[in-house]
Amino acid sequence: MNDALTWGRHYLMVEPNHFRVDYAINPFMHLDDQPDPIRAREQWLGLVAAIEAAGGTVEVLPQLPDAPDMVYAMNLGLALEETDGHGSRVVLSHMRYPQRRMETPEADTWFAGHGFARRGIGRDGVGAHFEAGDAFAWRGELVVGYGPRTEELALKHLATDLGVSVRGIRITHPGMYHMDIGFCPLDESRAMVCPAAYDEASAAALLALVPEPLVLTEEEGLAFCANSIVIGRTVLMPACSDRVRAQLEEWGFDVVVVEVGEFLKGGGAVRCMTNPLDVRLGRDLALTGSRVLLP
């Protein structure tokens, strides 16, 4: 059996006290299709319970009244846990859309209060945009999607600031606008990959990077199949086709489908709602010196 991911057991989530659809910044958001607040809270609590049942832990950040998308906590920042010689740090997101930028100061305050050194790539629309839902620590590199939300220039900043290798993957599909919709690491050699999310060269590069890919169809990608989290050998998913379930179970994973349909109305699911706090420099990201690799 392949080695399990070393991260993904400790998460930051945001309570959905003010979750609603006030604007449309992705193809799933419609002002005439509002989430039901009671059902949304039940689904959020169900996800927390599923994480804890799988052996994970959750930290909770209250939601700002004027930040309806703040429930998608993955995009608050890229957090790195303390390691020998390196204190805990976070690269705060610099949101592409101004509707979400008020989330960053609140995240800054939370991370500061929990001992994280904070770093920002840009601010208030000035500088390169970076959204943490585009970044994954995997196999010693930072795999970062760019295009719809994160800008290519941000890859250089990440590589330089963290001293790691950053592998850029160009996202082109309007419905899979973050890396966490078309890509999900499962263990140290397997990952779900939806090639339709990327341009031809990037899709080929990503598939070549994964020793054993579980290739998703465009339909499975748009159902947010890859917008999942992995806790040991348990995969918490918002949706799972029979084909994907069969492959995951053959590989020894337990599949748990968690209902988050109300949050899909805002264009996010399980991964979008959960920000891992236990990624480590030196363990999950090799300190190889800054470099950016593009297809």
Decide if 136 is inside a domain: yes
Is 132 a residue whose pLDDT tops 80? yes
Give the pLDDT score at 229: 98
Summarize pLDDT for 203-248 with one digit per residue, the tens: 999 999 999 999 999 999 999 999 999 999 999 999 999 999 999 9
pTM assigned to the model: 0.96
Q: Specify the CATH number for the domain of residue 207.
A: 3.75.10.10
| Closest to 168 measured CA to CA, from 181, 182, 179 | 179
Confidence band of 126 (pLDDT split at 50, 70, 90): very high
pLDDT at 86 over 90: no
Q: Which domain range does residue 131 map to?
A: 10-282
pLDDT digits (tens, 9 = 90+) for 33-50: 999 999 999 999 999 999
Instruction: Report the pLDDT value the prediction gives residue 125, as an integer from 0 to 100.
Output: 87
Report whether 134 contacts 154 (CB < 8 A).
no
**Token pair 């604007």: residue:** 23
**Token pair of 249, please?**
């179970």
Task: Count the Cβ atoms, other than its own, within 10 Å of residue 247.
Answer: 16
- The answer to whether position 294 is within a domain reads no
How many beta carbons lie within 10 A of that of residue 1, not counting itself? 7
d(CA 114, CA 89): 10
Contact indicator for 289, 163 with CB cutoff of 8 Å: yes
Higher pLDDT, 83 or 142: 142
Residue 145 burial class via C-beta count within 10 angstroms: exposed 0-12, middle 13-18, buried 19 and up? buried
User: Residue type for 108, please?
Assistant: D
Total domains in the fold of the chain: 1
Residue 217: closest CA among 249, 189, 247, 254? 247
Q: How confident is the model at residue 289 (pLDDT cuts 50, 70, 90)?
A: confident
* Closest C-alpha to 61, from 277, 237, 260: 277
Report residue 124's pLDDT band, with 50, 70 and 90 as the boundaries.
Answer: confident
Q: Please, what is the Cα angle at 230 between 226 and 235, to 5 degrees?
A: 70
Is residue 293 a part of any domain in this protein?
Answer: no
Residue 288 lies in a domain: no
Q: Is residue 174 part of a domain?
A: yes
Residue 63 lies in a domain: yes
Please choose, from the candidates 11, 132, 37, the residue with its C-alpha nearest in 3D space to the C-alpha of residue 75. Answer: 132
Average pLDDT taken over every residue of the chain = 96
Q: Which of 275, 277, 229 is nearest to 256 (CA)?
A: 229
Over residues 154-164, mean pLDDT: 94
Q: Is residue 287 part of a domain?
A: no
Query: Does residue 281 carry a pLDDT above 90?
Result: no
